[in-house]
Chain A
Amino acid sequence: MTVKRKKLIVVGNGMAGVRAIEHLLKLAPEAYEITIIGAEPYPNYNRIMLSSVLAGGASLDEIIINDLEWYRSFNITLYTGHTVTSIDTAARTVYTDKGVTAVYDELILATGSNPFMLPIPGTEKEGVIAFRDIKDTQIMQDVSQKYSKALVIGGGLLGLEAARGLLHLGMDVSVVHIHEYIMERQLDEAASRMLRGELEAQGMKFLLKKQSEAILGKKRVKGLLFADGEMAEADLIVMAVGIKPNVMLARSSGIEVNRGIVVNDYMETSLPGIYAVGECAEHRGIAYGLVAPLYEQGAVLAKRLAGAPTEGYAGSVTSTKLKVSGVDVFSAGQYNEQPGTKALRFQDETEGIYKKLVIQEDKLIGAVLFGDTNDGAQLFSMIKKGENIKGREKELLLGLEADALASPKGNRLEGMPDDEIICGCNGVTKGTIAEAITAGGCTSVGQIKACTKASASCGGCKPLVEGLLQLYAGEAAVTVKEGICGCTTLGRDEIVAEIKRMKLTTVKEVMHVLSWNTEEGCPKCRPSLNYYLGMLWPEEYVDENESRYTNERYHANIQKDGTYSVVPRIYGGVTSPAELIKIAEVAVKYDVPLVKFTGGQRLDLLGVKKEDLPKMWEELDMPSGHAYGKTLRTVKTCVGSTFCRFGTQDALGMGIRLEKAFERLNAPGKVKLAVSGCPRNCAEATIKDFGVVAIDGGWELHVGGNGGVHVRATDLLCVVKTDDEVLEWASAFLQYYREQAGWNERTAQWIERVGLDSIKQALESPEERAALVERIQKTLSLTTDPWKQIVNTPELRKNFEAISLPETV
């Protein structure tokens, strides 16, 4: 006998609707025949991550939460690219703009919200967009290829994330904000000022106290006119001034609507059998614009639909975090002071740290953290619990005791309900984590991450996950020792020491002798062992190509569509017309779709088919630029005394000399150098692994800089007089880094870990420096150009080609 399933339709294929369905499928997998209708042409994706896509931290593919296979595996009928235009609530039928008609027993409205567009003339012009969906993100990416000037209207969370992304795309970005200071809804003036300073340092510009009046331009936007008569040029305007619940469909169907679709504690609307969740819903007068509350709503709705008991949804306390690299901003609860509240503040402008706690009747009701947001998760959890903090205020302000959560009295976590979300990014509840530990046998944060995805994204919840691990695994958790990867319990230093002591010479031998618990290692330990062995035994060790990442195996960067890129070596960034013609000819011949300058001043030919790589290398007949490897990448230079009127030294000559000296060097991480001809530092040498800045009569040597995700300015290592000394110190520093750092550890992380002083000490004595120089020279003398080698060796070259058409036998 087949039980007749009830028909459930969801309008809106976004985060809230699909989340509710995921939950429902766990509680009552057989109860409903489910149809989801969504206006966007994609499966369900993580909207939050659009900011990361724009800022270069993720690709569009990576943000899909449920792919088409998921819908299929649960027999969900999915219509993408369909907008529901009307609901016949009497006949329980929905209609879409593409002619689909579907009947329901129960209906969920999860239509999200629409971006608010300022009611000023010109918003319909080409180049004026919001920041809401994949389409907007793609427009920004496209525009950045052709145009340079962007304006973002709105200095709130979304606006700043959009602006940061546009900076990443290479645009000149100004944020227009109507208030005197940015993020005024989350921060007070002091914290906001500090934030602005940080963002300005990253290159963002601000037009504050500006009221936008009209968008200029004929067909395409040209600029923005302000109420004060001033004007700003723009090729792109992104409006991020707010959102409003998308209630059109509900309203025209006769469902009660206020600001959002009005729902009760069980997410029921005014009509029977119709529910609403997410940004379109208004619960107890509040329409939320964040993911955590709508996940909580989804959980309640799923229980209701599954017929499981639930106390209902009682509203949420929210927290927000600015997802901009290099700045940490967190705010939660009621962070503005009001009558009846008291605030405690800590402000340290030298370190760029600001904290504020808002307290009412001995309870923590809000917090703002800037610069150091480590305590955010704990404070947020205290706000939600509403616990009495009398007598502990200062301790909380100045930092929670590190093990406060693990201590026996830290039963805050114990009392937390099972369905409370611990990891907001991935929507993992306390119950799920607890189960992974007790039933799933996880004994480390890494394992919990692998099996539940908790703390796998922004990592903000890691302290809570650690706390839960302590709580449920107790002793077992403390005793696990994590090695360089899951295959061993040994750390980097132990492994290197054992290799030296026992003179181990192959990857296989190391794994065997040191009792690896996997057959042949994993993509983490294999490349690291390959590196350590090569570093320790430069003469004897034969590099294991199979233990290198794809990029290093094929000597080209794999791009998201499976094509590769080619960056020929151009020493010091100095080229010639003849060389340019050669590169251009090869690019034309192989139909290279995109040619651009890399961040390190070299030419990048992108979108090359793997089969074409060896032929292109051959025809270019230039050395590999190693733009794909953990090795010396480029030495960036300014023009220096050769042409510049300020230059005091020959930056070009020094750059070329350094690049030739360290070309092809294997290192724990990628290594970037730069040379500037005077302290104006046009080559930005102070964010490189090794930076050289000319001063009158000598050179300043800087180390440990990084311009990547975590920007770090260099520390000054020393000042030297002659060019030869620059070479000597650079060699000694790089070799010491090669010998001491863990695989995959950039100089910036390494210096933060071991401290600048320990490095200065190690390089202090001329004898020690000479020994390091000798060791690096030995290593360098043994390198060969990989492109040439592949071009000339059929045995290596075959791996770039597919096996030719097989024949039937």
Chain B
Amino acid sequence: MTKLLIGNLNDVDIKGSRKLRVGDTEIALFRLSSGEVLAVENRCPHKGGLLSEGMVCGSKVHCPLHDWRIELHTGEVQAPDTGHVTTYEVEVDHATGSLYLTI
């Protein structure tokens, strides 16, 4: 397990996303309207759509290719579809706005 400094809160728009690559893994970073920052693997379990390009609704992202819905807290695909994406822990230092990702 490694903890990485990946940037600042301002790098991600609210209801927006950014992507980053750590080794071989591409990760999508989301900032919800609740203020939370969440990170998941940037690959839809259906056909590999880039989740970072999808629309964020509440705490779920809709894959841009065929509209599968994925809960960002747990990585669970929502019914009627099934599947799972890996989630990663993100910490926000509220004093400085720094974002830390554990991988």
Contacts and interface: CB of A to CB of B under 8 A. Distances in A.
Interface of A: 61-62, 64, 67, 69, 450-451, 518-523, 526, 545-547, 549-550, 554, 558, 562, 798-799, 802-809
Given A520-B33, A562-B50, A808-B2, A799 B13 contact: yes
Nearest to B50: A562
A526 B55 contact: yes
B7 interface: yes
Contact of A806 (B20, B57, B62): B20
10 contacts: A523-B55, A526-B55, A526-B57, A546-B16, A550-B53, A562-B50, A806-B20, A809-B3, A809-B4, A809-B100
A83 B55 CA distance: 43
B58 A520 contact: yes
A558 B16 contact: no
Contacts of B54: 550
B3 A802 contact: no
A451 B59 CA distance: 22
B3 A523 contact: no
A503 to B, nearest CB: 23
Given A61-B47, A802-B20, A803-B11, A450 B80 contact: yes
B19 interface: yes
Contacts of B66: 62
A734 to B, nearest CB: 27
A452 to B, nearest CB: 8
Interface in B19-73: 19-22, 29, 33, 45, 47, 50, 53-59, 62, 64, 66-67
Contact of A803 (B20, B53, B58): B20
Given A798-B11, A809-B4, A523 B67 contact: yes
A550 B14 CA distance: 16
A450 B100 CA distance: 38
A546 B57 CA distance: 9
Contacts of B21: 802, 805
Given A62-B66, A798-B18, A807-B5, 4 more contacts: A546-B16, A546-B56, A806-B6, A806-B7
A798 B22 CA distance: 19
B101 interface: yes
A803 B6 contact: yes
Contact of B7 (A518, A521, A803): A803
Nearest to B26: A802
Nearest to A436: B80
A451 B16 CA distance: 29
Nearest to B81: A450
B55 A549 contact: yes
Contact of B3 (A519, A522, A808): A808
Contacts of B53: 550, 554, 558, 562
A802 B19 contact: yes
A808 B4 contact: yes
Name the residue in A550, A562, A803, A809 with the highest tally of chain B Cβ atoms < 10 Å from its Cβ: A803
Contacts of B67: 523
A546 B64 contact: no
Interface of B: 2-7, 11, 13-16, 18-22, 29, 33, 45, 47, 50, 53-59, 62, 64, 66-67, 79-80, 100-101
A67 B49 CA distance: 14
Contacts of B13: 545-546, 799
Name the residue in B4, B13, B16, B55 with the highest tally of chain A Cβ atoms < 10 Å from its Cβ: B55
B16 A799 contact: yes
B16 A806 contact: no
Interface of A is mostly: mixed
Contact of A519 (B19, B59, B62): B59
Contact of B80 (A451, A520, A558): A451
A806 B58 contact: no
Contact of B14 (A521, A546, A809): A546
B62 A802 contact: no
A803 B33 contact: no
A529 to B, nearest CB: 12
Nearest to B47: A61
Contacts of B19: 802-803
Contacts of A64: 47
A69 B4 CA distance: 31
Name the residue in B7, B20, B50, B53 with the highest tally of chain A Cβ atoms < 10 Å from its Cβ: B53
Contacts of A523: 55, 57, 62, 67
Contacts of B50: 562
Contact of B101 (A67, A547, A806): A806
Name the residue in A526, A545, A546, A562 with the highest tally of chain B Cβ atoms < 10 Å from its Cβ: A546
A516 B52 CA distance: 25
B61 to A, nearest CB: 10
Contacts of B79: 451
A632 B55 CA distance: 24
Given A521-B57, A547-B55, A806 B11 contact: no
B57 to A, nearest CB: 4
A802 B27 CA distance: 10
Nearest to B52: A802
A64 B45 CA distance: 14
**Nearest 4 A/B pairs, CB to CB:** A519-B58, A546-B15, A803-B20, A806-B4
B64 A550 contact: yes
A727 B67 CA distance: 40
A64 B48 CA distance: 13
A519 B80 contact: no
A807 B4 CA distance: 5
A521 B67 CA distance: 13
A786 B64 CA distance: 21
Contacts of A520: 15, 33, 56-58
B20 A522 contact: no
Name the residue in B3, B33, B57, B66 with the highest tally of chain A Cβ atoms < 10 Å from its Cβ: B57
Contacts of A67: 47
A5 B25 CA distance: 38
A809 B4 CA distance: 6
Contacts of B22: 806
A356 to B, nearest CB: 39
B47 A806 contact: no
A518 B55 CA distance: 14
A806 B26 CA distance: 12
Contacts of A526: 55, 57
A740 to B, nearest CB: 26
Contacts of A521: 57
Contacts of A808: 2-5
Nearest to B14: A546
Contacts of B56: 520, 546
A775 B3 CA distance: 55
Contacts of B62: 522-523
A298 to B, nearest CB: 23
Contacts of B47: 61-62, 64, 67
Nearest to A67: B47
Contacts of A518: 57-58
A517 to B, nearest CB: 12
Contacts of A809: 3-5, 100
Contacts of B3: 808-809
A613 to B, nearest CB: 13
Contacts of A545: 13, 16
Contacts of A69: 45
Contacts of B7: 803, 806
Contacts of B6: 803, 806
Contacts of B18: 798-799, 802-803
Contacts of A519: 57-59
Nearest to B46: A67
A522 B64 CA distance: 12
A66 to B, nearest CB: 12
Nearest to A524: B67
Contacts of B15: 520, 546
Contacts of A546: 13-16, 55-56
